[in-house]
Amino acid sequence: MIAHALSRLGAWLAARPDRLTVVNALLLTAILILLGSADLFRFVGGAAVLLCAAAILVRSLRRMDGNPLTLHPYDLAVMLAPPAIAAALAALAIILVVGHAPGSFAHTMGLVLFTIEFALLALGASDGGDGTPEAARA
Q: What is the mean pLDDT of the chain?
A: 82
Percent of the chain exceeding pLDDT 70 equals: 88
Question: CA 6, CA 113: separation in Å to the nearest integer?
Answer: 29
> Is residue 125, in this structure, part of any structural domain at all?
yes
Number of domains present in the structure of the chain: 1
> Is residue 50, in this structure, part of any structural domain at all?
yes
Range of the domain at 98: 17-137
**What pLDDT band is residue 129 in, cutting at 50, 70 and 90?**
very low
pLDDT in tens, 72-109: 778 778 888 888 899 999 999 999 999 999 889 999 99
**What pLDDT band is residue 137 in, cutting at 50, 70 and 90?**
very low
> Is residue 10, in this structure, part of any structural domain at all?
no
Question: CA 98, CA 39: separation in Å to the nearest integer?
Answer: 8
> Is residue 11, in this structure, part of any structural domain at all?
no
Question: CA 90, CA 102: separation in Å to the nearest integer?
Answer: 18
> Is residue 8, in this structure, part of any structural domain at all?
no
pLDDT in tens, 51-65: 999 988 888 878 777
> Is residue 91, in this structure, part of any structural domain at all?
yes
**What pLDDT band is residue 66 in, cutting at 50, 70 and 90?**
low
From residue 127, alpha-carbon distances to 60, 64, 74, 84, 117 in Å are 13, 18, 25, 19, 18
> Is residue 3, in this structure, part of any structural domain at all?
no
> Is residue 4, in this structure, part of any structural domain at all?
no
**H-helix segments, the chain:** 2-15, 17-35, 38-40, 46-63, 73-99, 105-125, 133-137
